[in-house]
């Protein structure tokens, strides 16, 4: 029996997020012959996001556009999603495991009376059955789960499943869905963003993080210079945030963001278990610390024992020779 799969293509300020294409590829992995894959784009200015998605081979792109959706509000967004769910009656709904996806997925699961598997890092198929792998115990163990029956709700951790590729020669039907304009109990008037990074931390391929070893807010400057050069993002440990060296929006760890970049450079971070929970699944981990016994070296692929204020500028200098020549 064929399945209907709906992918929530997350965008921010009209710009499509990378995790949207990763989630679309996850849907393709799940889909069997005869299944259909549809996209949902919601927001207040979504023309660019829809334009990017056209040509990725989805059956339909459903769009819900309204001023109520300019800033994220779970009530407003659920109203938009419910309008599409009512029309499509999907067998599976996929989200990115982002702040928005983690908020909406359980609401959709409740609406559909569906099971949910969260924070999926890989998907395999066994005789046509989708098998989802997700981490447990801060990445120390993994479990494989399957759905016994439908419908399904799944969230995909960013930077784990490759992004979908354009399907040449295809165009996608675009269908506008009327926003039902519910009576909202709360309205988001404005959003003040404290993050200054040019790249979203959760989607960055390279992350340069600082801990208490940076010693001050000014201590993040060499990290920011290296991140700018490499096209990466700057993160921080909870210790650095608690000390007031940076905003909590940069915090990586069990009570912060979970990141899985290609390269993670930990500068002046001891490696407390709470921090490791947020970055231990990075592809390559490089640790810079003056203490040769620091726990971070136990999980690092490469370690440099030394003062970050000596090492990081040298790395920046050498990378600049290679990249800017």
DSSP state string for 100-159? HHHHHHHHHHHHHT-EEEEEE-EEEEETTEEEEEEEEGGGTEEEEE--SSS-EEEEE-TT
pLDDT at 192: 75
pTM recorded for the entire structure: 0.86
Q: What is the mean predicted confidence (pLDDT) over 301-305?
A: 96
Q: Is the dihedral of CA 296, 298, 302, 305 positive or negative?
A: positive
At residue 123, the pLDDT reads 96
**Number of Cβ atoms within 10 Å of the Cβ of 243:** 16
pLDDT in tens, 261-300: 999 999 999 999 999 999 998 999 999 999 999 999 999 9
- Alpha-carbon distance of 71 to 45, in angstroms, equals 11
Tell me what percent of the residues of the chain surpass a pLDDT of 90: 78
Q: Are 263 and 242 in contact (CB under 8 A)?
A: no
Q: Would you state the pLDDT for residue 197?
A: 54
- Three-state DSSP at 58 gives coil
């Amino acid at each position: 029996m064929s399945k209907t799969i709906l992918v929530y293509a997350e965008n921010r300020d009209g710009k499509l997020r990378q995790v949207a294409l990763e989630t679309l590829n996850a849907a393709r992995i799940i889909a069997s012959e005869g299944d259909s894959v549809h996209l949902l784009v919601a927001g207040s200015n979504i023309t660019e996001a829809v334009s990017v998605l056209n040509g990725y081979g989805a059956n339909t792109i459903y769009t819900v556009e309204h001023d109520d959706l300019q800033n994220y509000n779970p009530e407003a967004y659920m109203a938009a999603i419910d309008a599409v769910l009512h029309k499509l009656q999907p067998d599976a709904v996929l989200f990115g495991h982002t702040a928005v996806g983690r908020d909406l997925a359980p609401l959709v699961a409740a609406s559909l009376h569906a099971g949910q598997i969260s924070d999926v890092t890989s998907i395999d198929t066994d005789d046509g059955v989708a098998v989802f792998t997700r981490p447990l115990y801060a990445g120390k163990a993994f479990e494989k789960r399957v759905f016994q029956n439908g419908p399904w709700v799944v969230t995909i951790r960013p930077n784990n499943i490759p992004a979908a590729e354009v399907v040449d020669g295809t165009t996608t039907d675009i269908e506008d869905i009327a926003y039902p304009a519910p009576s909202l109990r709360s309205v988001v008037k404005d959003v003040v963003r404290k993050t200054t990074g040019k790249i979203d931390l959760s989607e960055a391929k390279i992350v340069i993080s600082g801990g208490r070893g940076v010693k001050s807010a000014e201590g993040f400057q060499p990290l920011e210079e290296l991140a700018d050069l490499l096209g990466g993002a700057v993160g921080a440990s909870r210790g650095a945030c608690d000390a007031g060296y940076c905003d909590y929006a940069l915090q990586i760890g069990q009570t912060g963001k979970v990141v899985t970049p290609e390269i993670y450079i930990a500068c002046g971070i001891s490696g407390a278990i709470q921090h490791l929970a947020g970055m231990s699944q990075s592809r390559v981990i490089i640790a810079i610390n003056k203490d040769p016994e620091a726990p971070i070296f136990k999980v690092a692929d490469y370690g440099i024992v030394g003062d970050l204020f000596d090492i990081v500028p040298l790395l920046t200098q050498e990378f600049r020779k290679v990249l800017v020549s």
